[in-house]
Structure 1
């Protein structure tokens, strides 16, 4: 059974902001096919004409959806948008450039918010700007509701729940091994570019990006576990025997998971260590793949970081708003295996996996279900408000929604 968090006073249940963008269109299409009958959904963006084109291409169930003209650069339009709905799903990035005004409007209006950011600097900015206000109004401002960082955050959430159920003690060393098949997002590249530009302007921001606890609600209260660094080289994982290397999303996902632990009063444990790596398989083939992919990723990042070579990378990389073909989105997949050891020595394995290109098809499901969860599942959600993570804002309610969409989300003792 679902309940509307704000009742009939709000005109809409969910608004997709940025519906004319590549991912925005995918989220709108997902909602048109999967939202419960009677859910009041609207599409929002800068151009009414382009919104009409998007709506015309959706299934018949969406033909009567209202269109809302709103601009990230127009606070008045954002305030009206936020006041009209229970929840907003925003795909308008890079969020560091365009995201804060909408977050502020949602916090003021008590409107729930979900986005797809993978930007540490933006999340830190949102926490500093609106966390207190959102807790006062009851708004759930939930960042990272796509491939960044739903699988990571909910996977560790499930490990914690199982450890509690088994009285196994807190989590200790926990490692996520990621495998996937998917395309590279122009929007993701633009987000990385926005952070690099911000750091070039203010060098002090480097400290935020490289701080393992950059998103903590209270940095001074974090345990001193020594240097917790993301993987930077290729090596054989001692537990699995796989060759592994740096995971491109680890620098963001790990901060989100650590924020979840802190927001729960360090319920995962005061000695909880967390890292993420890409897994490439065993033997010579695994070593070769790990070495090649790691080298190429390093060259791409170095090229973007250097102002002299950045224009070359820009010409080769997909542009914002571009994405893989429908066939590529359909044939993509991801699988994340998260292994942990608890304080009593028991070991568990969480698996989070799904079909569909992780950054597009699967992300459209994750953001769409997050928005529906925030708008409709009020009675089932954890009692929380402020700038939250997927697990602290939605927890088991989102887990069950994703399982209903054929996501694998399991925990087993090993």
Structure 2
């Protein structure tokens, strides 16, 4: 990577809901000597945001403005100006591919906050080797999808390795408490339209649990009984009554890629199985959530239903108010079981008081700064498409200092 680039970091999509919150976090909390820019298609809106950012913190290097269309030549020119590029412009299947291509070919580190697992798989197939060859990383899903899940699995495994020096058989992650002011327009649009982006056969292939793994999956995978699947819930000690999680489809492939990146699966263990669920208060609620989720997914295949949903949600660029988001709580808990006769367990927790979208800004900004100015880690050594967990403990410590409560230890 050229050392004489104009910027250290460019944030593409600063006029969007998540991008704006990310810009605010960088302005208020990231190193004041950072040379950075906000980028997007609307110069007037970018100027307004830059003015608002200066009010937030006038005592730092202010972001410059880069007006850019999402066209290959302009994106290549932008990528060549910076060492690291964050994009919050979604849907990623629609707008993200030329950004990844520009970064991979320009030797620029790339991060995003997508939750679109099929698109992530697509980018892995198309640009991983190019990025790796050029000595840079691609870090997708570095927001609420899929940082909490990936870090908790890593920490739970790490505890068992430190205490017993064995791998893990099962790791169960749960969304324990999620209070939200709603989803942004961009998130809603992505969820509704992703099914239109790829053929059904590709969607099925790309969303398999080990679709992103760099090595073949473990031979022995824990499966549930038909009766449990029919009821739609399961009850696990110290985790509660669990049902379908809205994040499992995007989180599980990322965690399993981390499994493969750490010593080809040996660190996590050759029998490692990861699952993710949503905690509910009653069994009946577990069944209700399961069947509503299943029905909603089926209805997304019906075009008139997708059209109707688009009319109900926020428009892109809009989202929950700051006042509503400030009262939100996000809490995750994971338990891993040792591949050992003792069946000892470890626990890892992740807790944040505040909005999920602002937290996403924290997650991606701190990862970018670690890649830019941090120490050595597995992700940097590997290059190409990496995962949040591959940034290892320095990333965890940065998030702790940013106000996210992350803990781990042995349970038994």
Same fold judged by TM-score > 0.5?
Answer: yes
2:45 maps to 1:47: no
Instruction: Pick the aligned partner of 2:312 from 311, 316, 328.
Output: 316
2:335 maps to 1:336: no
- Aligned twin of 2:196: 197
Residues in 2 aligned to 1:232 and 1:52: alpha-carbon distance in whole angstroms: 54
Q: Contact conserved, 2:193 with 2:306, CA < 8 A, in 1?
A: no
Report deviation, 1:403.
0.5
Report deviation, 1:390.
1.1
Residues in 2 aligned to 1:276 and 1:196: alpha-carbon distance in whole angstroms: 22
- Aligned twin of 1:237: 235
Report deviation, 1:379.
4.1
- Aligned twin of 1:399: 396
Report deviation, 1:311.
1.6
Q: Contact conserved, 1:108 with 1:137, CA < 8 A, in 2?
A: yes
Shift in CA distance, 224/39, structure 1 to aligned 2, threshold 3 Å = same
2:257 maps to 1:263: no
Gapped regions of structure 2 (runs ≥ 5): none
Residues in 2 aligned to 1:348 and 1:233: alpha-carbon distance in whole angstroms: 28
Q: Contact conserved, 2:377 with 2:392, CA < 8 A, in 1?
A: no
- Listed one character per residue, the Cα deviations across residues 332-374 of structure 1 (whole Å, up to 9, x for unaligned) are 111111001011222101111111122x121111112122222
Report deviation, 1:315.
1.5
Instruction: Pick the aligned partner of 1:114 from 97, 111, 114.
Output: 111
Shift in CA distance, 256/241, structure 1 to aligned 2, threshold 3 Å = closer
Instruction: Pick the aligned partner of 1:87 from 81, 84, 89.
Output: 84
Residues in 1 aligned to 2:303 and 2:385: alpha-carbon distance in whole angstroms: 33
- Listed one character per residue, the Cα deviations across residues 212-263 of structure 1 (whole Å, up to 9, x for unaligned) are 2111224xx2222357689785324132372211001101100100011112
- Aligned twin of 1:173: 170
- Aligned twin of 1:3: none
> What SS does the corresponding residue of 2:143 show, helix, strand or coil?
coil
Residues in 2 aligned to 1:22 and 1:238: alpha-carbon distance in whole angstroms: 37
- Aligned twin of 2:272: 272
Residues in 2 aligned to 1:237 and 1:111: alpha-carbon distance in whole angstroms: 45
> What SS does the corresponding residue of 2:155 show, helix, strand or coil?
helix
Count the aligned residue pairs: 398
Shift in CA distance, 64/235, structure 1 to aligned 2, threshold 3 Å = closer
Residues in 2 aligned to 1:320 and 1:156: alpha-carbon distance in whole angstroms: 32
- Aligned twin of 2:347: 349
Gapped regions of structure 1 (runs ≥ 5): 1-5
2:180 maps to 1:184: no
- Aligned twin of 2:21: 26
2:158 maps to 1:161: yes
What TM-score do you get using the length of structure 2 for normalisation? 0.91
> What SS does the corresponding residue of 1:308 show, helix, strand or coil?
helix
Pairwise CA RMSD of aligned residues?
Answer: 2.2
Residues in 2 aligned to 1:365 and 1:125: alpha-carbon distance in whole angstroms: 26
Q: Contact conserved, 2:137 with 2:386, CA < 8 A, in 1?
A: yes
- Listed one character per residue, the Cα deviations across residues 79-124 of structure 1 (whole Å, up to 9, x for unaligned) are 1111111111110111111111111111112211110111111111
Shift in CA distance, 55/111, structure 1 to aligned 2, threshold 3 Å = same
Instruction: Pick the aligned partner of 2:32 from 34, 37, 60.
Output: 37
> What SS does the corresponding residue of 1:9 show, helix, strand or coil?
coil
Shift in CA distance, 231/93, structure 1 to aligned 2, threshold 3 Å = farther
What TM-score do you get using the length of structure 1 for normalisation? 0.90
- Listed one character per residue, the Cα deviations across residues 259-281 of structure 1 (whole Å, up to 9, x for unaligned) are 11112210211100110000013
* Comparing 116-125 and 177-186, the one that deviates more: 177-186
Report deviation, 1:172.
0.8
